[in-house]
């Protein structure tokens, strides 16, 4: 008789441990053409591979989370996806959690296919978590939520993003008077009910918002993009996130990546942000 497979450790627990030991920091891997040029690299698959491998080598053994932006790999077709697959494999092998920034959102079998791409352990793009868009209705995310729970992975749901255009949708009022962002946050909180030390369904809430103006008590991680080049600082986080600040995972991309291509400089930049976020955030 075949022994049952061990139950995977939930993403929320693994993320809490990584943040506590490595520091509360997520570094994006965003190989857009301008940044490649700043590194002295061509906007080619070879440049993409050099950029990505250098970033993973520099950071995967020390930061809590690496967040590759899938679009910057997809633009090179199958060869770019091959670079992304290798980056995911090598980053996870070095101990970083990988959050795939894909922002997928669809319904039914299509959403299930996206879930299989990023949340099935048999997939070459299997990641510790993935970003998703809920604005076809939170229920449309069910295939991803269920796949993540089965694999011990996480899902980060767009709630209040850092781009100014997002407000026209996210601040709109639902039929019961809640903003759509608050409605999504409440759905997330329900998914995380009873989880400890941290739920595995997170929300994306921009660090540039000033006052979020919503209840962020979701019992899950709050991915906070906008640190660094977009103008937010770690010192802004307590004001934006209030009582939920201990669950914040600040995300920085260009603020670290522009230190490359020197590995030691990349590490030093990440250390500066980690130190600053440790100082700004209370212990969980």
Predicted confidence (pLDDT) per residue in 52-111, tens digit: 999 999 999 999 999 999 999 999 999 999 999 999 999 999 999 999 999 999 999 999
> Does 284 score more than 70 pLDDT?
no
Residue 141: inside a domain: yes
**pLDDT confidence of residue 2:** 59
Look at residue 2 and tell me if it is in a domain: no
| Distance of alpha carbon 194 from the chain centroid | 22
Query: Cα 48 to chain center, whole Å?
Result: 20
Q: What secondary structure letter does DSSP report for 232?
A: B
Please give the Cα distance from 71 to 202 (Å, whole number): 21
3 occurs within a structural domain:
no
- Domains in the chain: how many in total? 1
pLDDT of residue 163: 86
* Sequence-ordered alpha helix ranges (H) in the chain: 11-22, 33-38, 45-59, 71-74, 78-93, 108-119, 142-151, 167-170, 180-191, 237-241, 254-257, 263-280
Residue 5 lies in a domain: no
Q: What local confidence, expressed as pLDDT, does residue 262 receive?
A: 98
Q: What is the predicted pLDDT for the residue at 88?
A: 98
Residue 103 a catalytic site member: yes
Distances 93 to 53, 150, 248 between C-alpha atoms, Å: 13, 21, 24
Residue 198's pLDDT band, with cuts at 50, 70 and 90, is very high
pLDDT at 164 over 90: no
The model's pTM: 0.96
* pLDDT above 60 for 241: yes
Burial of 107 (0-12, 13-18, 19+ CB in 10 A): middle
Q: How confident is the model at residue 196 (pLDDT cuts 50, 70, 90)?
A: very high
Residue 265 lies in a domain: yes
**Is residue 141 within 8 Å of residue 155, measured between CB atoms?**
yes
Residue 246 belongs to domain spanning: 11-278
Task: Output the pLDDT for position 209.
Answer: 82
Does some domain include residue 1? Answer: no
Distance CA 203, CA 166 (A): 14
**Residue 4 pLDDT:** 60
Does residue 146 lie in a domain region?
A: yes
Reported confidence tier of residue 16, pLDDT bands at 50, 70, 90: very high
Exactly one of 53, 86, 103, 258 is catalytic; which is it? 103
Q: Is residue 178 part of a domain?
A: yes
What is the per-residue pLDDT for 243?
93
**How buried is residue 210: exposed, middle or buried, by Cβ count under 10 Å (0-12/13-18/19+)?**
exposed
Domain of 253, CATH number, reads 3.20.20.70
């Amino acid at each position: 008789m075949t022994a049952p497979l061990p139950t995977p450790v939930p993403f929320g627990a693994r993320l809490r441990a990584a943040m506590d030991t490595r520091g509360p920091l997520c570094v994006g891997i965003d190989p857009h053409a301008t940044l490649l040029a700043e590194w002295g690299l061509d906007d080619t698959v070879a440049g993409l591979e050099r950029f990505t491998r250098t970033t993973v080598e520099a950071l995967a053994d020390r930061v809590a989370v690496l967040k590759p932006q899938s679009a910057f790999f997809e633009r090179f077709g199958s060869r770019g996806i091959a670079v992304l697959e290798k980056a995911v494999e090598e980053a996870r092998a070095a101990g970083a959690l990988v959050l795939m920034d894909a922002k997928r959102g669809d319904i039914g079998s299509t959403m299930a296919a996206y879930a299989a791409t990023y949340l099935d352990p048999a997939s070459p793009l299997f990641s510790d978590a993935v970003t998703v868009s809920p604005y076809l209705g939170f229920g449309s995310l069910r295939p991803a939520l269920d796949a993540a729970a089965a694999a011990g992975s996480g899902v980060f749901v767009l709630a209040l993003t850092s781009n100014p255009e997002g407000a026209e949708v996210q601040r709109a009022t639902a039929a019961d008077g809640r903003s759509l962002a608050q409605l999504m946050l409440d759905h997330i909180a329900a998914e995380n009910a009873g989880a400890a030390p941290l739920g595995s369904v997170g929300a994306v809430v921009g660090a540039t918002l000033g006052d979020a103006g919503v209840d962020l008590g979701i019992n899950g991680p709050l991915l906070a993009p906008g640190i660094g080049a977009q103008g937010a600082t770690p010192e802004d986080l307590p004001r934006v996130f209030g009582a939920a600040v201990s669950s914040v995972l600040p995300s920085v991309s260009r603020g670290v990546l522009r230190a490359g291509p020197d590995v030691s400089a990349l590490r030093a930049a990440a250390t500066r942000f980690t130190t600053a976020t440790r100082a700004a955030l209370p212990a969980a």
